[in-house]
């Protein structure tokens, strides 16, 4: 009939699978960054593009180990007066895309921009008093107080070309970002695509791309992104839906890899408001016993998640000896009765409907259904992202008064310092705007963790805090860490790097063509 006729006619005019050539690789992302300026970015998704153009002092290798990148070396020093500085030696011979040479001054400028009033992330460097440049290739971070998380945040500073930034301003940077990374900006159509090309003068010859061009398409709808890959229109996709991972593994000439994401999901319980049942430890423990996280991972997420007791494996201070609370509804009911709630109680349960992680909304609903079974009767409040993030913030109104299905993330491999400052420490430190718990003992330990820079001491402290958190169910009930699945054609040489949560194209070489050595 006519639909078929139209379709068939049009098909003649078209090579349906017009994917990339040897020279060009086509990639599809499900989400689109807005910011391409690392000193103006606030959201994790911005990193997808920023990571193509820009590099920092340190990088995280596929093994999840931190490696020196634009920093040739660095060390923590303590002055006679007790002040702490981090002395950094900047790699020589690094070029920006506009041909200028990277110097220590560019990092000082990067710091200055991060501290602008309009910079959304200026709080991240609150313990850095100033940057002291010694010569073209060395500078010091001078800290006002020791800062354990600074190192964890990869020394934060990104290389941006000072003269170019000053010349073109914020709007100019948006239109044409310039960094030191392996890929150079060519063109961008927002909501459609970004085209980048290999940077011929890239300093790191070991990480030099082979493909000449990379075309990144933005396809938010899961089915469409999957179809784009299956029809051959794109060579690489992110966020394969969990339900389709198994079928992807059957596809010919396709490589499929599932990797841990940076987010840690948990249920926040209001343990501070007078009259809240969650002030009682037994009630919080009842929540932990009431939910069957393993079944959720198996049946809802198709195995695409990692059970967390307090921290996920790989995170700094992960403790393999900590065992999860067993799924035991009877025990949960007994704990409630013990706490004085033999008939259970009603509570508001806040859920996020925006798909920040696969099936996040559904998982929230199932967790709340488990709680219902145990006698914690949820009145579910469904919220889109903006309303959800607001409810979680302690200084906004309305304020979270029951249970909130939420998450924390602190990069990969992950470090809980900042996050715990936020949702475990009673007032926190920057992140403290999400805390619904108050325990002086934990407060003191988290403050100590924040200012401890020795790696071994940090691991030990994190483990001690995690044990108390676990025993007390303080700062929420951890559930799991979602995984991300990537798929690409097997003739493409690609190794996932954890930067920008595995969307980094730093591990993309190119198409392995026949006959190439």
List of residues contacting other proteins (CB under 8 A):
2-3, 6-8, 10-11, 13-14, 16-18, 34, 42-43, 117-118, 120-124, 170-171, 174, 189-192, 217-221, 223-225, 227-228, 230-231, 233, 354, 384-387, 389-390, 393, 395-396, 418, 422, 430-434
Least separation in angstroms between residue 289's CB and other proteins is: 29
Query: Which residues, in sequence order, are CB contacts of 163 under 8 Å at separation 6+?
Result: 100
Q: Which is nearer to other proteins, 224 or 346 (CB)?
A: 224
Helix (H, G, I), strand (E, B) or coil at 120: coil
Q: Which is nearer to other proteins, 33 or 242 (CB)?
A: 33
Burial tier of 340 (Cβ tally within 10 Å: 0-12, 13-18, 19+): exposed
Least separation in angstroms between residue 204's CB and other proteins is: 29
What is the C-alpha separation between 85 and 66, in angstroms, rounded?
20
Q: Which is nearer to other proteins, 139 or 360 (CB)?
A: 360
344: left (phi over 0), alpha (psi -120 to 50) or beta: left
Strands 477-478 and 263-269: antiparallel
Q: Which is nearer to other proteins, 372 or 390 (CB)?
A: 390
Q: Which is nearer to other proteins, 325 or 434 (CB)?
A: 434
Q: Which is nearer to other proteins, 205 or 395 (CB)?
A: 395
What is the C-alpha separation between 480 and 307, in angstroms, rounded?
4
Q: Which is nearer to other proteins, 153 or 269 (CB)?
A: 153
Residue 94 has phi, psi (to 5 degrees) of -90, 130
Residue 120 has, within 13 A of its CA and on its CB side, a CA count of 9
Least separation in angstroms between residue 183's CB and other proteins is: 21
Least separation in angstroms between residue 389's CB and other proteins is: 6
Kindly state the tokens that stand for 48: 């997808």
What is the C-alpha separation between 50 and 178, in angstroms, rounded?
10
Q: Which is nearer to other proteins, 208 or 233 (CB)?
A: 233
CB 134 within 8 A of CB 74: no
Least separation in angstroms between residue 48's CB and other proteins is: 15
Q: Which is nearer to other proteins, 62 or 430 (CB)?
A: 430
Least separation in angstroms between residue 387's CB and other proteins is: 6
Nearest to 204 by CA among 402, 59, 16: 59
CB 56 within 8 A of CB 113: no
What is the C-alpha separation between 508 and 348, in angstroms, rounded?
46
Angle between helices 455-472 and 440-451 (to 10 degrees): 160
Least separation in angstroms between residue 407's CB and other proteins is: 10
Nearest to 427 by CA among 453, 450, 455: 450
Nearest to 237 by CA among 69, 84, 25: 25
Least separation in angstroms between residue 281's CB and other proteins is: 27
CB atoms within 10 A of CB 38: 27
Least separation in angstroms between residue 365's CB and other proteins is: 20
Least separation in angstroms between residue 345's CB and other proteins is: 29
Helical H segments across 251-359, by residue range? 281-290, 293-295, 329-338
Nearest to 46 by CA among 509, 506, 499, 508: 499
Q: Which is nearer to other proteins, 73 or 144 (CB)?
A: 144
Least separation in angstroms between residue 450's CB and other proteins is: 13
How far is the first Cα of the chain from the last one, in angstroms, to the nearest whole number?
52
Q: Which is nearer to other proteins, 48 or 370 (CB)?
A: 48
CB 185 within 8 A of CB 49: no
What is the C-alpha separation between 159 and 179, in angstroms, rounded?
7
């Amino acid at each position: 009939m006519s639909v078929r006729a139209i379709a068939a006619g049009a098909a003649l005019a078209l090579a349906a699978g017009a994917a990339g050539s040897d020279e060009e690789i086509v990639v599809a992302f499900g989400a689109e960054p807005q910011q391409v300026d690392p000193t103006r970015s606030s959201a994790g998704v911005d990193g997808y593009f920023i990571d193509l153009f820009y590099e920092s002092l340190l990088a995280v290798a596929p093994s999840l180990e931190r490696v020196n990148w634009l920093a040739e070396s660095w060390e923590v020093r303590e002055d006679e007066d007790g002040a702490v500085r981090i002395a950094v030696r900047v790699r020589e011979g690094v070029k920006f895309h506009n041909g200028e040479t990277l110097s220590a001054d560019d990092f000082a400028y990067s710091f200055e921009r991060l501290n602008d009033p309009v910079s959304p992330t200026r709080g991240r460097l609150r313990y850095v008093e100033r940057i002291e440049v010694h010569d073209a290739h060395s500078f010091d971070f001078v800290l006002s107080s020791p800062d354990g998380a600074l190192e964890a945040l990869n020394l934060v500073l990104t290389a941006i070309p000072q003269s170019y930034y000053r010349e073109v301003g914020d709007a100019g940077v948006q239109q044409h970002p310039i960094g030191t990374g392996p890929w150079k900006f060519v063109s961008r159509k927002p909501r459609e695509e970004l085209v980048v090309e290999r940077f011929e003068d890239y300093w790191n010859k070991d990480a030099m791309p082979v493909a000449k061009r990379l075309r990144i398409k933005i396809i938010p709808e899961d089915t469409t992104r999957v179809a784009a890959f299956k029809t051959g229109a794109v060579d690489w996709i992110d966020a394969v839906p969990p339900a389709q991972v198994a079928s992807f593994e059957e596809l010919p000439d396709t490589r499929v890899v599932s990797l841990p994401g940076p987010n840690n999901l948990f249920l926040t319980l209001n343990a501070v408001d007078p009259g809240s049942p969650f002030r009682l430890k037994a009630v919080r423990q009842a929540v932990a016993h009431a939910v069957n996280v393993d079944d959720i991972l198996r049946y809802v997420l198709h195995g695409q998640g990692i059970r967390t007791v307090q921290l996920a494996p790989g995170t700094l201070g992960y403790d393999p000896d900590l065992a999860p609370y067993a799924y035991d509804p009877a025990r949960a009911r007994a704990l409630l009765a013990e706490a004085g709630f033999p008939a259970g109680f009603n509570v508001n349960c806040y859920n996020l409907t925006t798909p920040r992680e696969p099936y996040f909304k559904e998982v929230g609903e199932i967790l709340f259904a488990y709680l219902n079974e145990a006698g914690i009767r949820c009145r579910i409040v469904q919220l889109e992202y903006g309303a959800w993030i607001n409810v979680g913030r302690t200084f906004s109104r309305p304020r979270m008064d029951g249970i909130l299905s939420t998450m924390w993330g602190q990069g990969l491999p992950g470090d809980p310092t900042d996050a715990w400052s936020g949702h475990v420490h009673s007032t926190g430190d920057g992140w403290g705007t999400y805390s619904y718990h108050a325990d002086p003992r934990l407060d003191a330990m988290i403050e100590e963790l924040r200012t401890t820079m020795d790696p071994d001491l940090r691991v030990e402290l994190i483990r001690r805090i995690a044990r108390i958190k676990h025993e007390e169910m303080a700062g929420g009930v951890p559930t799991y860490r979602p995984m991300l699945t990537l798929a690409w054609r097997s003739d493409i040489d690609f190794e996932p790097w954890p930067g920008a949560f595995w969307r980094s194209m730093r591990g993309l070489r190119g198409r392995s063509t026949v006959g190439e050595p």
